[in-house]
Structures are given as C-alpha cells and as structure tokens.
Structure 1
C-alpha cells in the first residue's frame, strides 16, 4: 500500500474548536532507518505496529503497512524500542472533504504542532484552513522517527 500525505506546521490552536476527536498516544520505534521505519503505537486500548518504506522523490508518498496488535503487546514492544518515546495528543479535524490529523506533542517535543492530511493522489487539492502554517512535507526533521532522537526542544531556533 502507498500512503500519500502532506505535512504542515500549525500556526495556532484554533483548530481545536473544529476537532471531532482527540486521542492520547505513545509511540516508539523499533527501527528508524529511513529505508524501513518500524513504529509501535499505543492509544486507548489499541496497539498498532506500522512499517514504512523509504519516502519517494517528492516526499509525499511511501509504502506503508499497518497491523493491529493488542495493547499488552504494544506495551511490551515499547519497552524494547529505541530511546526517545513520542507522546502526543492527536486531533481529527474535518475541513471540507478531508480530515486533518493534528499532533500536539508533549515532553521534549512540547510546543510542536504538526498537521497531516492523507490524499488519494499527489496533486489532489484540498481546503486550506486558517490555522495551517508552513508546509514541511519531506523535511525529515519533522518525521516522528527523527523527533524521537532529535527532539524539537533541542533544535536551534
């Protein structure tokens, strides 16, 4: 399966007014090699393991496989992940015909707000909400796998 996704910084928290839901998440990485990232995620009582291939040339798409696992399995796998667990709240915000997933990071990534939108094709148009900021699609430092080892709080501003 190929995932087509664009990422943006978020300018302010006004997106929360339109959020349909929010979920606390913890995620870690068993492998952060850009050619094959393996992520473990725990949210609510659900575990997921996700495998992502390298990002294609434009930075908007890559292969992705996701499998549900038990919460207990996810907790066990989080214990053996590479250092730097990611904690965040994910908001689902409908805008026009799409749903933006906005991540509000905690811990060492506190202060970072990133919105993602999944598309059916790379050139698909979508409604741009007022709270959407600079596009960061393809900028590796904004990948969660990179935030786990190089947190936002350590960036030179």
Structure 2
C-alpha cells in the first residue's frame, strides 16, 4: 500500500499519439490535510475513493489505499467535497517496461500537463520519453490536492 512515483512536467503533446487509453477524470477532496488526504474520483463511469498519507521527505513515496465505489456514490460524494474540483484527462502510455500516466488539466488548471511513473523501488531506473520535462517530484504545488486549492491559473 506504499505508492512510489515520480512526477514530471510535459514539454509537448507528442505523448497523445502514443496513448493506448484516455479517460476523463473529475475529482474532489473530502479532506486535503497532508497527513491524510481523502479523494473522490469519477473516472469515466467508475467511482474511486482514495486515502493518501503524508509524503516521505523526498516526496517519492506515501501510503495509498483505494477502493472502487458505484458511480452514483461518487457523484453524491463529489457534492460534499471542498471547493476546487479537478477536471482532467488521463492518458496512459507504455514506455519501455513502465507505464506513464499523463494528466492534461482543464478548467482552472488549463495548460498544466503532468506525467507520473510508478516504480517498484525509489532507485529504479526507467526510460525517459522525449516529451518528459523537468522533474517536480515532491513539489507540493503539483499535488492534485493543492491544485484544487491553488490552481495553475493563479500562479505567477
């Protein structure tokens, strides 16, 4: 239940041609406390409830627990979320032996594109595609919970 991932900015739309799946995601947060974030997600026609713990000092790992819920349950819970609903399309891309999830944000986060790769251990090497830019792992402002509070359009 420990998630290890690295986050990167994306430098071009080349990744879209390589995506094998793209899904609209609407998500909100019942709790944005960094020690225990509680997220509700509507991913296509599926609902997901996720609890995340506090990130490690280097930002690479943290506790994550997820369970599927019914679509109507997710829709009801989204109405209870704190202000700042996230709207994005997640593109899934296989690169070498790893899968990248590239989130293309809309609404107040329009223009932001972030790629994540999940790893088995913190020092695991992986192939970096040409569209992968600056690493932002551990930078809290790029967490979805923070983007719901301080959206990309408000950055200077």
1:42-84 CA-to-partner distances (Å, cap 9, x unmatched) read: 0121000000000011110000000100000000000000000
Tell me the equivalent position of 1:127.
Answer: 127
TM-score, length of structure 2 as denominator length: 0.99
* Residue 8 (str. 1) matches residue 2 (str. 2): no
Q: Could you say what the CA RMSD is over the residues aligned between the two structures, in angstroms?
A: 0.4
> Structure 2 unaligned runs (5+)?
none
Hey, what's the Cα distance between the residues in 2 that align with 1:88 and 1:44?
A: 11
Deviations 1:5-64 (A, max 9, x none): 000000010001110110001000000000000000001210000000000111100000
Structure 1, residues 106-137: CA drift from partner, whole Å, max 9, x if none?
00000000000000000000000000000000
- 1:88-122 alpha-carbon deviations (Å, 9 max, x no partner): 00000110000100000000000000000000000
- List structure 1 segments (4+ residues) > 4 angstroms apart after TM superposition: none
User: Are residue 95 (structure 1) and residue 95 (structure 2) matched?
Assistant: yes
TM-score normalised by length of structure 1: 0.99
Q: What stretches of structure 1 of length at least 5 have no aligned partner?
A: none
Aligned length: 156
